Amino acid sequence: MIDLVGGVAKATGTQATISIGGPQGPLEAAKGFAAHLAETVQAGEQAAVGGVNGSMPMNEVVQKVMDAERALTTLVSVRDKAVGSLLELTRMQV
Amino acid sequence: MDPISSATTTAFSGLSAQSIRMKIIAENIANAQSTGRTPGADPYRRKMVAFANVMDEARGTAMVQVDQSGVDKAPFKVEHIPGHPAADAQGNVKLPNVDMIVEMGDMKEALHSYDANLQVIRQGREMMSGLVDLLRST
């Protein structure tokens, strides 16, 4: 879970570097998911530049920017959920 | 690929197809009076688009593709304008086979199809945001 928070947070640009424990299968997959979404966001940014230059058809620009928006929204939601779970853990009584 | 994303991608291909159709209509309207440059030469021939269903294997979804190489084989209109540079020995000039009413009808249809595709995109977006919002509800 902590690795997941680090991976998702990095991909959203918050540069959180929480990392405890070694690499684990599902958590690595979650990082890959975050990296894929980050790539989509980057493609959206490039499309926006292409739209301003007029070097890309408007349909494509809108599609890529919308994809990026959706990826970002999903990513932020997943991150919030993960951070929320982490906070719940820290509140646990010992 | 996610079915809602596939629907959106297909609708975007529809938008692209209708845009190309609109471009062809614009060319037809702009050239409705374009004659040949030499005596007896053929004038502008009306262009036509044809739509085809294409399977995108990578996404596993059907897309629409436009073939814009077609031309209308209807005969040209002929008018008697003896002084025209494109007039033949009898003074007849061949005019394009573009019919403004047909072009206007085509344009209206392109607009409606474009709007329908936009509506699919809006709806898909709404469904997807609804789904992602489930994560936010606490």
What's the pLDDT score for residue A10? Answer: 54
The residue behind tokens 């936010």 is B136
pLDDT per residue over A20-73, tens digit each?
445 556 667 677 777 877 788 888 888 888 878 888 888 888 988 888 888 888
**Minimum CA–CA partner of A84 in chain B:** B138
What's the pLDDT score for residue A36? Answer: 78
What's the pLDDT score for residue A7? Answer: 53
A59: contact with B, CB 8 A cutoff:
yes
CB-based contact A77 B132, cutoff 8 Å: yes
Q: Tell which wins on pLDDT, B124 or A79.
A: B124
B136: contact with A, CB 8 A cutoff:
yes
What's the pLDDT score for residue A92? Answer: 84
Q: What is the dihedral of CA A13, A15, A21, A24, to 10 degrees?
A: 20
Cα-based distances in Å from B20 to A38, A51, B27, B33, B97: 32, 18, 11, 22, 20
Which parts of chain B sit beneath pLDDT 50? Answer: none
B132: contact with A, CB 8 A cutoff:
yes
Q: What is the dihedral of CA B94, B110, B55, B7, to 10 degrees?
A: 170
Does the pLDDT of residue A3 top 60, yes or no? no
Which residues are bridge partners to B95 per DSSP? B77
